[in-house]
């Protein structure tokens, strides 16, 4: 279990989130939603221990993650943030193999049979095994995103924190990836992922954490979070909700309101 207590996050003088408290349990997939600039990426980085909270704490199994040695934290939490790394000259397989580093001491790294098996399974999970020998810098944006996911899977951490895991992917691949993440949750992992597509969250998440106005607006099932009033508070536009014949909830912005209400900020997440 990963838990936030009285969590406050700032960027400069701007307060992003104040006094947030929530927990993510083993076996569930949580989607983080909210307009640009509300702090989704900052929250994910804080949960991963990459940055310290401005107030409050984050714990995993009741241990403060900021007090954990980096290698131990990496065995507990896989944080998908590939853009922070400069690995263009490596092959796809080399990149995925980086996920095994936390399982070895720095002075005795050598891939063994168990590493090999995990790497191969991770490549197969994202359908990239045929491109294992390709150089990473020759891949498309969507293919790179799938390699990052394979790296996260190879890490074999019980908690996966993913920032826009379906960005740059076509509809079919995005659907496959989200279904696979939900399967990872069903196997006992804790999945927290930032999504921009509300309908992806509606279809795949067990719970949705909705951010806005400097706080958590809601953390509940999609059926309870995806209400017109809550979404309008979060995004600044009216939303229409439709239930399909299969029972899936779909969300659409109401066209006349898009130009009448305040536009989205357009600024990237801190």
With H, G, I as helix, E, B as strand and everything else as coil, classify residue 162.
strand
Helix axes 171-186, 141-154, angle to 10 degrees: 10
Q: From CA 222, how far away is CA 254, in angstroms rounded?
A: 19
* Nearest partner of 99 among 143, 205, 87, judged by Cα: 87
With H, G, I as helix, E, B as strand and everything else as coil, classify residue 217.
strand
For residue 87, the model assigns a pLDDT of: 66
Quickly count: other Cβ atoms within 10 Å of residue 117's Cβ. 10
Identify the H or E element spanning 94. Answer: helix 92-97
Residue showing tokens 């229409």: 240
With H, G, I as helix, E, B as strand and everything else as coil, classify residue 85.
coil
For residue 53, the model assigns a pLDDT of: 94
139 in Cβ contact with 88 (< 8 Å): no
Task: Show Cβ contacts of residue 186 under 8 Å, excluding neighbours closer than 6 positions.
Answer: 27
Order across the sheet with 215-220: list the strands.
77-80, 159-163, 190-194, 29-33, 207-212, 215-220
Q: State the DSSP string of 189-236.
A: -EEEEE-S-HHHHHHH-SEEEEEETTEEEEEE-HHHH--HHHHHHHHS
Side-chain-facing half-sphere of 104: CA atoms under 13 Å: 14
For residue 86, the model assigns a pLDDT of: 57
For residue 267, the model assigns a pLDDT of: 46
Task: Supply the CATH classification number for the domain 2-258.
Answer: 3.40.50.300
Digitized pLDDT (tens) for each residue of the chain, 270 residues in all:
899 999 999 998 899 999 999 999 999 999 999 999 999 999 999 999 999 999 999 999 889 998 998 888 988 999 986 554 556 689 999 999 988 888 877 656 677 889 999 999 999 989 999 999 999 989 988 888 889 899 999 999 999 999 998 887 888 888 988 998 999 999 999 999 999 999 999 999 999 999 999 999 999 999 999 999 999 999 988 888 888 887 788 898 887 645 455 454 444 445
């Amino acid at each position: 279990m990963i838990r936030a207590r009285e969590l406050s996050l700032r960027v400069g003088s701007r307060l992003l989130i104040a006094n947030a408290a929530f927990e993510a349990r083993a076996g569930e997939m949580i989607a983080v939603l909210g307009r640009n600039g509300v702090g989704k990426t900052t929250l994910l980085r804080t949960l991963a221990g990459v940055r310290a909270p401005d107030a409050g704490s984050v714990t995993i199994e009741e241990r403060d993650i900021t007090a954990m040695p980096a290698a131990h934290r990496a065995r507990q939490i896989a944080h998908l943030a590939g853009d922070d790394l400069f690995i263009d000259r490596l092959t796809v397989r080399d990149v995925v193999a980086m996920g095994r580093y936390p399982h070895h001491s720095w002075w005795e790294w050598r891939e063994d049979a168990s590493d090999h098996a995990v790497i191969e399974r991770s490549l197969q999970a994202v359908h990239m095994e045929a491109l294992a020998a390709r150089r990473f810098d020759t891949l498309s944006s969507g293919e790179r995103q799938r390699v990052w996911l394979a790296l996260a899977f190879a890490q074999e951490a019980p908690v996966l924190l993913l920032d826009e895991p379906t960005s740059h992917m076509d509809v079919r691949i995005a659907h496959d990836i989200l279904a696979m993440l939900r399967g990872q949750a069903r196997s006992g992992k804790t999945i927290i992922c930032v999504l921009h597509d509300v309908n992806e969250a509606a279809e795949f998440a067990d719970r949705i954490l909705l951010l806005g106005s400097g706080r958590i607006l809601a953390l509940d099932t999609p059926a309870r979070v995806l209400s017109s009033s809550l979404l309008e508070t979060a995004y600044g536009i009216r939303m229409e909700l439709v239930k399909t014949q299969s029972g899936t909830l779909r969300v659409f912005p109401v066209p006349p309101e898009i130009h009448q209400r305040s536009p989205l900020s357009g600024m990237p997440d801190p």
